[in-house]
């Protein structure tokens, strides 16, 4: 029976499903009922399975198995469906499911990124150590919602209230660059898919008002959208080197390591150093700005290639070479 490509209807589903169709797959979107019309409107799904709430997702196991579906994960799946439930489902899953364990916790991420030898923002283990601007973050992939900035322990104590779980990270002043990679197991090669920067509310709006009005505003980092970005070409060797090191380190911590799409979230300082503040071990929504292709993917593949399509191409080549087992985790 032919394989189908299935994903949850949000985040990068349009890209994933369109890419899968371009590579000749049958596609399935699993949508909350009030979102389904979007996927119907764009015609990217051959079948739409409607659910009332994301918590119903694990009950679709048999339906997906019957359709010979391969599930493509993204941040909305991770954000809305219980990790244990995803890990326990028998539905074939593109990627190393075990890497979710490493990605879902900032401390484990740090171990991984340090092992890769990357440059990371300092972490203040105790608020009394805060001696420069710092960003206070909370657990879970909630897109930066609620984060705040502080410059002293006093300010931290005032703002944190009763919250018990947080991370205090050095705030790197520079510009954010999100690097989209794709590591192909089938071709044994790391590819650069593109770069984006994020559009976050309200931090990206604060520069639009005069400083006297900015002073008392609470800065937040709620993700709303993304912009495409091209990087200075002389930075590309460093970009590839960082990606390679992350893959190498991942093989040591969680064999067979990371593969498929992943993203390093960085801030680049004026001395052109990349500070990596997070890793996403799957497709990031920033790749949506290249739903057709990025310039890098176009020159690499000689035809338009989105990250969504690249996933489907990898699956197709794995099927053709009878190597599907190597890319399903
Ligand atoms: P949503 O399905 O839009 O509610 O998104 C679920 C989670 O995915 C959010 O909490 C974000 O962490 C992440 N996410 C969604 N869209 C984007 C985006 N455009 N850029 C970065 N992260 C995103
Ligand atoms: P995150 O949820 O970790 O992706 O962070 C959300 C946003 O906070 C990012 O897009 C950046 O704008 C900002 N940010 C996070 N960590 C840092 C940092 N250490 N230094 C500067 N900006 C940061």
Atom number in ligand 1 closest to CA 142: 10
How many angstroms separate the alpha carbon of residue 114 from the centre of ligand 2? 18
The residue to mutate among 178, 223, 263, having the most atoms of ligand 1 within 8 angstroms of its beta carbon, is 223
Model confidence at 221: pLDDT above 90: no
- Give the chain's end-to-end CA distance (angstroms, integer): 20
**Is the CB–ligand 1 distance for residue 75 below 6 Å?**
yes
How many angstroms separate the alpha carbon of residue 326 from the centre of ligand 1? 28
**Is the CB–ligand 2 distance for residue 177 below 6 Å?**
no
Q: 214 and 181, same structural domain?
A: yes
Which two three-digit tokens encode residue 11?
């985040």
Cis peptide before 298 (omega within 30 of 0): no
Model confidence at 293: pLDDT above 50: yes
Model confidence pLDDT, tens digit, residues 34-89: 999 999 999 999 999 999 999 999 999 999 999 999 999 999 998 899 888 988 89
**Total-model pTM:** 0.94
pLDDT category, 142, cuts 50, 70, 90? low
**What is the C-alpha radius of gyration for the chain, rounded to an integer number of angstroms?**
20
Q: 115 and 17, same structural domain?
A: no
Q: 269 and 190, same structural domain?
A: yes
Q: Which 3 state secondary structure label does DSSP give 49?
A: strand
Q: 183 and 79, same structural domain?
A: no
How many angstroms separate the alpha carbon of residue 135 from the centre of ligand 2? 8
The phi and psi torsions of 33 (rounded to 5 degrees) equal -50, -40
- pLDDT > 70 in the chain, percent: 98
The phi and psi torsions of 217 (rounded to 5 degrees) equal -80, 145
Nearest residue (by CA) to ligand 2, atom 11, is 176
Q: What is the DSSP string of 140-209?
A: S--TTTT-EEESSHHHHHHHHTT----EEEEPP-SEEEEEEEEEETTTTEEEEEEEEEEEEEEHHHHTTS
Which two three-digit tokens encode residue 161?
């209230």
**Is the CB–ligand 2 distance for residue 276 below 6 Å?**
no
**Is the CB–ligand 1 distance for residue 76 below 6 Å?**
yes
How many domains is the chain partitioned into structurally?
2
Please compute the mean of the pLDDT values over residues 230-242 and round it to a whole number.
98
- Taking a C-beta distance cutoff of 8 angstroms, is the pair 3, 315 a contact? yes
Q: 110 and 86, same structural domain?
A: no
Q: 207 and 75, same structural domain?
A: no
- Average per-residue pLDDT in the chain? 94
How many angstroms separate the alpha carbon of residue 111 from the centre of ligand 2? 18
**Is the CB–ligand 1 distance for residue 38 below 6 Å?**
no
CA pair distance 201, 206, nearest whole angstrom = 9
Residue of 20, 74, 9 whose CA lies nearest to 48: 9
Q: How remote is the C-alpha of 170 from its chain's centroid? A: 22
Q: 191 and 86, same structural domain?
A: no
**Is the CB–ligand 1 distance for residue 286 below 6 Å?**
yes
CA pair distance 113, 285, nearest whole angstrom = 21
Nearest residue (by CA) to ligand 2, atom 17, is 171
pLDDT category, 106, cuts 50, 70, 90? confident
Q: Is the dihedral of CA 287, 29, 54, 1 positive or negative?
A: negative
The phi and psi torsions of 136 (rounded to 5 degrees) equal -105, 120
Residue 278, domain member (yes or no): yes
Model confidence pLDDT, tens digit, residues 6-40: 999 999 999 999 999 999 999 999 999 999 999 99
Please compute the mean of the pLDDT values over residues 135-153 and round it to a whole number.
80
Give the helix/strand (H/E) hosting 111: helix 106-115
Instruction: Fill in the DSSP letter of residue 58.
Output: G
pLDDT category, 103, cuts 50, 70, 90? confident
Model confidence at 141: pLDDT above 50: no
* Domain span holding position 86: 4-93
Stronger pLDDT, 116 or 102, i.e. the higher one: 116
Atom number in ligand 2 closest to CA 121: 19
Residue of 261, 256, 126 whose CA lies nearest to 190: 261
How many angstroms separate the alpha carbon of residue 262 from the centre of ligand 1? 15
The phi and psi torsions of 219 (rounded to 5 degrees) equal -85, 130
Model confidence at 140: pLDDT above 70: no
Please compute the mean of the pLDDT values over residues 256-261 and round it to a whole number.
96
Give the lowest-confidence range in 46-60, 99-113, 119-133, 186-200: 99-113
**Is the CB–ligand 1 distance for residue 28 below 6 Å?**
no
Which two three-digit tokens encode residue 64?
């997906």
Q: 107 and 82, same structural domain?
A: no
Residue 197, domain member (yes or no): yes
């Amino acid at each position: 029976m032919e394989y189908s490509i299935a994903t949850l209807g949000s985040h990068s589903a349009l890209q994933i499903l369109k890419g899968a169709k371009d590579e000749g797959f049958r596609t399935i979107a699993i949508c909350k009922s009030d979102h389904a019309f979007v996927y119907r409107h764009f015609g990217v799904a051959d079948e739409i399975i409607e659910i009332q709430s994301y918590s119903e997702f694990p009950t679709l196991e048999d339906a997906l198995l019957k359709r010979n579906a391969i599930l493509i994960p993204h941040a909305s799946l991770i954000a809305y469906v219980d990790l244990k439930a995803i890990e326990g489902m028998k539905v074939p899953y593109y990627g190393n499911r075990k890497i979710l364990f490493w990605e879902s916790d900032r401390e484990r991420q740090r171990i991984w990124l340090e092992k890769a030898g990357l440059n990371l923002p300092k972490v203040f283990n105790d608020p009394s150590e805060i001696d420069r601007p710092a960003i206070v973050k909370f657990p879970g992939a909630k897109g930066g919602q609620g984060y705040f900035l502080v410059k002293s322990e006093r300010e931290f104590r005032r703002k944190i209230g009763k919250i018990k779980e947080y991370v205090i990270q050095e705030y790197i002043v520079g510009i954010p660059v999100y690097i989209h990679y794709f590591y192909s197991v089938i071709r044994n090669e790391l590819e650069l898919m593109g770069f984006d920067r994020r559009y976050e509310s309200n931090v990206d709006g604060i520069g639009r008002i005069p400083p006297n009005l900015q002073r008392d505003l609470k800065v937040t980092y709620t993700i709303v959208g993304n912009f495409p970005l091209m990087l200075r070409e002389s930075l590309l060797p460093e970009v590839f080197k960082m990606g390679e090191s992350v893959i190498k380190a991942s093989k040591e911590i969680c064999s067979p390591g990371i593969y498929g799409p992943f993203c390093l979230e960085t801030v680049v300082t004026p001395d052109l150093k990349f500070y990596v503040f997070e890793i996403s071990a799957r497709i990031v929504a920033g790749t949506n700005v290249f739903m057709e292709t990025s310039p890098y993917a176009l020159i690499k593949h000689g035809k338009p290639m989105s990250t969504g399509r690249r996933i489907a191409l990898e699956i197709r080549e794995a099927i053709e070479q009878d190597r599907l087992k190597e890319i399903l985790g």
